[in-house]
Amino acid sequence: MAGMLKVRPTKMELVKLKRRLGLSRRVQKILKDRLAILTMEFIKTARRAVAVRCELSGAVADATAAMGLADGIHGPAALEPALFASETGAAVRATTRNVAGARVPSLDLRLPPFPPPPYDPRATSSFIDSAADAGRRLLQAAVTLAELQRALEITGAEIKRTKRISNALEYLVIPSLETTIRVLSMKFEERDREEKARLKRVKVLLSRAVEAREAGV
């Protein structure tokens, strides 16, 4: 049984407690709805993170294979200048999005389109282009995975915090309010019964006094 709250035993305090109880129940419902949304978002993000992690592993394997082929065909002396020449600028735009009150990151990798090769394509092969393309896919997968990983951390922390507050309301605050309201209500009902019994006794005594006075007259 939950403990009682230390409050003054007045009817005004009882009214305030009932209002607090109603507000606590509404807040608990909102928290449960929020918890359901956050849990669904966490599961969806986790599944996507697994898929992107596999995609990243494949991109690493493709980039390694493409670099190995290009290195085997052209050799390090010819490959390094061509790869440096094929480098393009990349930028990551970081924003946030709202998921049931939680701010999770949103990373947007901006890669410029492929320009014409700055190196002589007649002196190289398509393996260099393949290696550069694999590198771009690897970078995109890495940025996406970083976004999802951070989203999982934030969403998981919000789930724990929301569940902790919801449990406190469900197992501590609301039962304490219900117990206090029940005890105060019983006390006031007993007081009302005693008051009614007292009034009835006074009425009987007054009636007898009137009858005795009339009989004396």
Q: What is the tally of structural domains in the chain? A: 1
Backbone angles phi, psi at 111, to 5 degrees: -110, 130
- Residue at 139 is within a domain: yes
* Mean pLDDT within 27-55: 94
Residue 102 pairs in a beta bridge with: 99
- Residue at 63 is within a domain: yes
- Residue at 205 is within a domain: no
- Taking only the tens place, the pLDDT of each residue in 163-177 is 999 999 999 999 999
Q: How far is CA 158 from the centre of its chain?
A: 4
* Mean pLDDT within 62-86: 70
Residue 17, token pair as written in the block = 């407690």
Residue type at position 57:
S
- Residue at 196 is within a domain: no
- Residue at 56 is within a domain: yes
- Residue at 199 is within a domain: no
Q: How far is CA 187 from the centre of its chain?
A: 42
Least confident range from 8-22, 71-85, 166-180, 183-197: namely 71-85
Total-model pTM:
0.72
Question: Using an 8 Å Cβ cutoff, are 143 and 98 in contact?
Answer: no
Helix/strand/coil for 77: helix
Give the span between the Cα atoms of 98 and 87, in whole angstroms: 35
CATH of residue 138's domain is 1.10.287.3240
Least confident range from 103-107, 118-122, 164-168: namely 118-122
**Parent domain of 80:** 24-175
Which letter does DSSP use for residue 109 in this model?
A: E
CA distances (Å), origin 137, targets 87, 89, 111, 213: 14, 14, 10, 109
The percent of residues above 90 in pLDDT, for the chain, comes to 35
